[in-house]
């Protein structure tokens, strides 16, 4: 039982202004795993003012000082790595292997990436007699989700620290344990008081207070498109910068010359991983109509081979989804897909056999879907793959782009030039060709209603910097 009832403000653990607690539910057991305090606008104001005071000095630190700080944070993260992985498994149900090899690994990966970028980053450039400076934007409000909890924290906090910003973090209130450990890591690493602050709470209270606060200079939000609209609306009166990484309904085009056994199996695995709770999951598989029966048979075998179970067991490939609310939404959308005429290829409504306790979902494949069905339009955020047919490559591209989202896309095929040409026509912020490995230096973010701005690598730094032109820097001869 974890009791995390204090917030981290100005370098110290402090009580909330008004005591109010929330039970944190373990999605594998449906039991209470711990409690947190829910913050208020008063707590946010206290944290923002601490960050504003700290900005005066932290913004003036040297690159060498910030490099040393990131190196200390990385060392402390390594010391707490096992604790971090265990917390992620407990709070959001990631299988132990996934938590250790991917979820917790992404946290340290973003820290190491920010460190590498910082070592070679140019904050100043002279053009003629004018100096172009990139300066920290100020106090940053960071609002992060539950599905990849420390990944989303790290890919915001690491570049903010590297560029000289101060910040207030509001992690997801339903998966807050990893944020607590992250905060303990930063404290142990000697992050100066006020540079990093943590206030737990819900979106309508703490999230709104952060995004609307006049002393917050930018807000970086990851979550649903609906919630992202509210963040932008709250931020608008103070004209602060808003960075958003929002929802997705990513297409996965299998070209006619693709290796279908490999590509379909990889596509199923890509959707099922993390119980389908990844915004960039390849949830719409587009395949030639002439190969539909073959594809459905491969997908059925692949989906039925995905083991579902207790995330602390050694044999589970996927665990539960995060909550009863999410489980109900997924069930509703599966049933909606069947009502609208999709073919049930694997899985379906209800819980897997023998897993009546916990928010477990059957790995589900819906075939012969058309792009107007609800399951092809809405983000399901569960282990549910939809398979759509096309007759020509031009039609496949049109279907792929026919979505309000544009976070990610995937293309598989044997002709490298055709694969690249198709990638160039897709309206998405990141396109993966033939199951390429992740690249933490590659910018991550979306087109259209999948957000604005970019995270990861060098591109993340730009979100936390203002550009200043100093004219007359070099005097004329």
Residues forming the active site: 245, 279
Phi first, then psi: give them for residue 352, nearest 5 degrees: -60, 150
Q: What angle do CA 417, 421, 423 make, to 5 degrees?
A: 115
> Which ranges constitute the DSSP H helices of 167-316?
177-188, 208-212, 225-235, 260-272, 292-304
- For residue 49, give both structure tokens: 């003012």
CA distances from 145 to 59, 202, 205, 320 (A): 27, 11, 15, 17
Q: Which two tokens stand for residue 207?
A: 């999230």
For the four alpha carbons of 360, 101, 90 and 14, in that order, the dihedral sign comes to negative
Inter-residue contact 32 to 39 (CB < 8 Å) = no
From CA 78, how far away is CA 229, in angstroms rounded? 36
Which residues, in sequence order, are bridge partners of residue 36?
Answer: 4, 22
Which two structure tokens, joined as six digits, stand for 59?
Answer: 């913004």
Residues linked to residue 251 through DSSP beta bridges, in sequence order:
284
Under 8 Å between Cβ of 366 and 344: yes
Q: Return the H-helix or E-strand segment holding 369.
A: strand 364-369
- Per-residue burial over 289-325, b = 16 or more CB atoms within 10 Å of its CB, e = otherwise: eebbeebbebbbebbeebebbbbeeeebbbbbbbbee
Burial of residue 226 (number of CB atoms within 10 Å: 0-12, 13-18, 19+): exposed
CA–CA separation, 285 vs 263, rounded Å?
A: 10
| Angle between helical axes of 104-120 and 149-163 (0-180°, round to 10) | 20
Q: What residues form DSSP beta bridges with 305?
A: none
């Amino acid at each position: 039982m974890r009791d995390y009832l204090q917030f981290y403000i100005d370098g110290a653990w402090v009580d909330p202004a008004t005591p109010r607690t929330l039970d944190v539910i373990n999605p594998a057991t449906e039991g209470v795993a711990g409690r947190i305090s829910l913050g208020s606008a008063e707590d946010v104001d206290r944290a923002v003012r601490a960050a504003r005071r700290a900005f005066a000095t932290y913004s003036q630190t040297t690159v060498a000082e910030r490099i040393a700080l990131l190196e200390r944070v990385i060392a402390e993260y390594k010391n707490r790595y096992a604790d971090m992985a265990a917390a992620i498994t407990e709070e959001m149900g990631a299988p132990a292997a996934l938590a250790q090899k991917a979820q917790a690994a992404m946290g340290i990966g973003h820290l190491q990436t920010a460190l590498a970028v910082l070592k070679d980053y140019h904050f100043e450039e002279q053009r003629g007699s004018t100096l172009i400076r990139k300066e920290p934007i100020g106090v940053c409000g960071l609002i992060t989700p539950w599905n990849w909890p420390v990944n989303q924290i790290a890919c915001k906090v690491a570049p903010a620290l590297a560029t000289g910003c101060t910040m207030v973090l509001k992690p997801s209130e339903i998966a807050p344990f990893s944020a607590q450990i992250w905060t303990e890591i930063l404290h142990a690493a000697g992050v100066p008081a006020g540079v990093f602050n943590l206030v737990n709470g819900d979106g309508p209270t703490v999230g709104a207070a952060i995004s609307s606060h006049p002393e917050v200079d930018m807000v970086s939000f990851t979550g649903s498109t609906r919630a992202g609209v509210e963040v932008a609306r709250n931020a608008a009166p103070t004209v602060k910068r808003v960075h958003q990484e929002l929802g997705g309904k990513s297409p996965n085009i299998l070209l006619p010359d693709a290796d279908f056994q490999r590509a379909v199996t990889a596509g199923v695995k890509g959707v099922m991983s993390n119980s389908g709770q990844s915004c960039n999951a390849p949830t719409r598989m587009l395949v030639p109509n002439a190969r539909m029966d073959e594809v459905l048979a491969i997908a059925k075998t692949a989906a039925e081979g995905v083991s579902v179970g207790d995330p602390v067991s050694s044999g589970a490939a996927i665990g539960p989804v995060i909550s009863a609310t999410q489980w109900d939404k997924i069930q509703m959308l599966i049933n909606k897909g069947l009502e609208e005429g999709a073919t049930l290829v694997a899985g379906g409504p209800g819980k897997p056999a023998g897993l009546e306790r916990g928010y477990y979902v059957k790995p589900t494949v819906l075939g012969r879907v058309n792009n107007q069905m609800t399951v092809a339009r809405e983000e399901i955020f569960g282990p549910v793959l939809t398979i759509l047919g096309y007759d020509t490559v031009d039609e496949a591209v049109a279907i792929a782009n026919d979505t309000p989202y544009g976070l990610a896309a995937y293309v598989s095929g044997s002709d490298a030039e055709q694969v690249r040409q198709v990638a160039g026509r897709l309206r998405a912020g990141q396109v993966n060709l033939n199951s390429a490995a992740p690249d933490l230096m590659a910018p991550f973010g979306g087109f259209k209603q999948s957000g604005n701005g970019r995270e990861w690598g060098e591109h993340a730094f730009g979100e936390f910097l203002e550009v200043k032109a100093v004219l007359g820097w070099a005097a004329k001869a």
